[in-house]
């Protein structure tokens, strides 16, 4: 079942000072309708049963946890466990939310889905869910991302989605979201915007978190059953922040469990070429982007900055509002891994565990590799392995000049 045990957001979609609904009037009625429809759906046992059934029979949930024994031994510290979202059908955690929202769209009578994608995983997840449920799917994707995530572009097309290249601005995820919102505002009566992370106007940050919260619910139970205890530390990468919220949420009240989000450090903070919204407070300040208030990388004049990461899925100038609140409350801590560290972690996981992780997830792995040796062997780090790396082979081959 969806978990919504916390008091945030409030009914205006505020996570403390963050969140909200900063969208044009044309969209406000659609957002009100979505809030109502989601509220009805999550209280409807039939809807929840269908969602659960598809997660089991189609996505392959529960995803297992794997004890990374060789890696843990090599690092000589904490035991590293991996939550295997890479084993989900379509290759990442993104499918959990895509299915939830596609089911909801269908229930709302919306036959047309628009989505944005960076790495292509959310695009693939959306295209997959739409194929399964018989919905039309249009995916907006920056042309820079199309070039670096080709395999996912082919996948989306094979799944029957239309992939629309976005040439405006930095031609990456933020621009794809602009175009998806422009499409939504134009076709709002027939169309649901299937937003892929805990971003955007209320109710998206809450709804996407809820649909992803299955990750933490399962992992918590699995660790208790298989190891007999909770982890000491949970680590997840943070693009918009959906896989991180998904695994954090069920552990929110377990105060002894450290929650760590890992942003994209790109070529290093000093270079300015990164997407570490919480690490570089000189250029990242509270602002409004894509309908929500949170930390935003921007110029002194309030223009949104271009970001950089080797992983398309983390290459975004803002971050989910609930993460901003968790950070203020010191319930979660945030750090970053550079492109280089992520690439090294990528290779390490391949060689020690036989798992090819997504470059996004490799950022979380990099932090686990840094931390494990500082911890005792009887301690546990749980890493959210948010996706698999098939889509990244070209990028990695080029970066390593293989």
Partner 1 sequence: MTNTFETKNGRSHIAAAFAQAQETQSAALMPYFTLGFPDRATSLDVVEAIAPYSDLIELGVPFSDPLADGPTIQRSTQIALENGTTTADCLAMVRELRLRGVDKPFLLMGYYNPILAYGIETYVRDAAAAGADGFIVPDLPPEEADEFEQAAQAADLVLIPFLAPTSNPERIATIAPKAQGFIYLVSVAGVTGARSQVQSDLGEFVARVREYARVPLAVGFGIGTPEQAAKVGALADGVIVGSALVSVADKAEAKSEAAGAFVASLQAGLKKG
Residues designated catalytic: 94, 116, 386
228 versus 300: smaller Cβ distance to partner 1: 300
Is residue 57 near partner 1 by the rule CB under 8 A? no
Given a contact cutoff of 8 angstroms between Cβ atoms, the answer to whether 269 and 276 are in contact is: yes
Q: Which of 303, 376, 378, 401 binds partner 1 (CB under 8 A)?
A: 303
Angstrom distance (rounded) from CA 171 to CA 147: 11
Q: Where are the beta strands (DSSP E) in 32-190?
A: 65-67, 79-84, 112-117, 136-142, 162-166
Q: How many residues bind ligand PLP, per CB under 6 A?
A: 22
Is residue 17 near partner 1 by the rule CB under 8 A? no
In the complex, least distance from residue 49 CB atom to ligand PLP, rounded to whole angstroms? 26
241 binds, among ligand PLP, partner 1, none (CB under 5 to 8 A by kind): ligand PLP
Q: Which of 216, 291, 357, 389 binds partner 1 (CB under 8 A)?
A: 291
Is residue 63 near ligand PLP by the rule CB under 6 A? no
Angstrom distance (rounded) from CA 49 to CA 69: 36
Is residue 361 near ligand PLP by the rule CB under 6 A? yes
Q: Which residue has the tokens 């000049």?
A: 401
Tokens standing for residue 369: 């590799």
Is residue 322 near ligand PLP by the rule CB under 6 A? no
| Dihedral angle, C-alpha 391, 397, 400, 401, nearest 10 ° | -160
Tokens standing for residue 223: 């660790």
In the complex, least distance from residue 85 CB atom to partner 1, rounded to whole angstroms? 30
- How far CA 266 is from CA of 80, 147, 272, 311, in Å, comes to 24, 18, 9, 9
Q: How many residues bind partner 1, per CB under 8 A?
A: 40
Q: Which of 242, 284, 298, 395 binds ligand PLP (CB under 6 A)?
A: 242
| Dihedral angle, C-alpha 392, 61, 31, 106, nearest 10 ° | 110
Q: Cβ of 374: how many Cβ atoms within 10 Å?
A: 10
369 versus 375: smaller Cβ distance to ligand PLP: 369
Q: Which of 201, 313, 317, 321 binds ligand PLP (CB under 6 A)?
A: 313
Angstrom distance (rounded) from CA 140 to CA 173: 9
341 binds, among partner 1, ligand PLP, none (CB under 5 to 8 A by kind): none
Tokens standing for residue 205: 């940050």
Site string for partner 1, 24-53 (x = CB under 8 A): xxxxxxx-x---------------------
Residue ranges in 134-203 assigned as alpha helix (H)? 143-148, 150-158, 173-186
Angstrom distance (rounded) from CA 136 to CA 252: 37
361 binds, among partner 1, ligand PLP, none (CB under 5 to 8 A by kind): ligand PLP
Q: Which of 231, 241, 265, 291 binds ligand PLP (CB under 6 A)?
A: 241
Phi-psi region of 156 (alpha: psi -120 to 50; beta: other; left: phi over 0): alpha
Given a contact cutoff of 8 angstroms between Cβ atoms, the answer to whether 180 and 115 are in contact is: yes
Angstrom distance (rounded) from CA 240 to CA 250: 19
Report 211-240 residues binding ligand PLP (CB under 6 A).
237-240
Half-sphere exposure of residue 395, counting CA atoms within 13 Å on the CB side?
Answer: 28
Site string for ligand PLP, 71-110 (x = CB under 6 A): ---------------------x-x----------------
Question: Which residue(s) pair with 192 in the sheet?
Answer: 113
186 binds, among ligand PLP, partner 1, none (CB under 5 to 8 A by kind): partner 1
Tokens standing for residue 276: 């570490």
Report 165-194 residues binding partner 1 (CB under 8 A).
168-169, 174-175, 178, 181-182, 185-189
72 binds, among partner 1, ligand PLP, none (CB under 5 to 8 A by kind): none
187 versus 352: smaller Cβ distance to partner 1: 187
Is residue 289 near partner 1 by the rule CB under 8 A? yes
Angstrom distance (rounded) from CA 122 to CA 301: 32
Binding residues for partner 1 (CB under 8 A):
12, 20-30, 32, 168-169, 174-175, 178, 181-182, 185-189, 285-291, 296, 298-304
> What residues make contact with ligand PLP under the rule CB under 6 A?
92, 94, 118-119, 121-122, 197, 237-244, 313-314, 358, 360-361, 386-387
């Amino acid at each position: 079942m969806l978990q919504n045990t916390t008091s945030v957001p409030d009914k205006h979609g505020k996570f403390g000072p963050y969140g909200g609904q900063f969208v044009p009037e044309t969209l406000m009625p659609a957002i009100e309708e979505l809030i109502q429809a989601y509220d009805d759906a999550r209280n409807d046992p039939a809807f929840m049963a269908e969602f659960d059934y598809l997660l089991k029979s189609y996505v392959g949930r529960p995803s297992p946890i794997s004890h990374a024994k060789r890696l843990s031994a090599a690092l000589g510290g904490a035991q590293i466990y991996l939550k295997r979202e890479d084993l989900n059908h379509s290759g990442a955690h993104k499918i959990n939310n895509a299915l939830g929202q596609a089911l909801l769209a269908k229930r709302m009578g919306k036959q047309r889905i628009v989505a944005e994608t960076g790495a292509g995983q959310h695009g693939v997840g959306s295209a997959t869910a739409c194929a399964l449920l018989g919905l039309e799917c249009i995916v907006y994707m920056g042309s820079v991302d199309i070039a670096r995530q080709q395999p996912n572009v082919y996948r989306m097309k094979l799944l029957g989605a239309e992939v629309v290249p976005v040439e405006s601005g930095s031609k990456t995820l933020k621009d794809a979201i602009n175009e998806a919102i422009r499409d939504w505002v134009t076709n709002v009566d027939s169309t649901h915007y299937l937003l892929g992370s805990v971003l955007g106007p209320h109710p998206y940050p809450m709804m996407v978190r809820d649909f992803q919260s299955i990750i933490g619910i399962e992992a918590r139970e699995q660790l208790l059953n298989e190891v007999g205890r909770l982890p000491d530390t949970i680590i997840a990468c943070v693009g918009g922040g959906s896989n991180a919220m998904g695994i954090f949420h069920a552990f929110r009240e377990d105060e002894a469990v450290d929650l760590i989000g890992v942003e994209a450090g790109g070529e290093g903070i000093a270079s300015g070429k990164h997407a570490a919204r919480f690490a570089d407070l000189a250029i990242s300040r509270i602002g409004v982007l894509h309908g929500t208030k949170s930390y935003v990388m921007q110029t002194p004049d309030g223009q949104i900055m271009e970001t950089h990461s080797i992983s398309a899925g983390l290459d975004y100038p803002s971050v989910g509002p609930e993460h901003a609140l968790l950070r203020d409350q010191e319930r979660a801590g945030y750090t970053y891994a550079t492109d280089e560290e992520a690439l090294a972690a990528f290779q390490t996981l391949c060689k020690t565990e036989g798992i090819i992780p997504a470059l996004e997830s490799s950022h979380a792995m990099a932090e686990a590799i840094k931390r494990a040796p500082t911890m005792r062997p009887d301690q546990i780090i749980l890493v959210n392995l948010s996706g698999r790396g098939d889509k990244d082979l070209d990028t990695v081959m080029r970066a390593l000049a293989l």
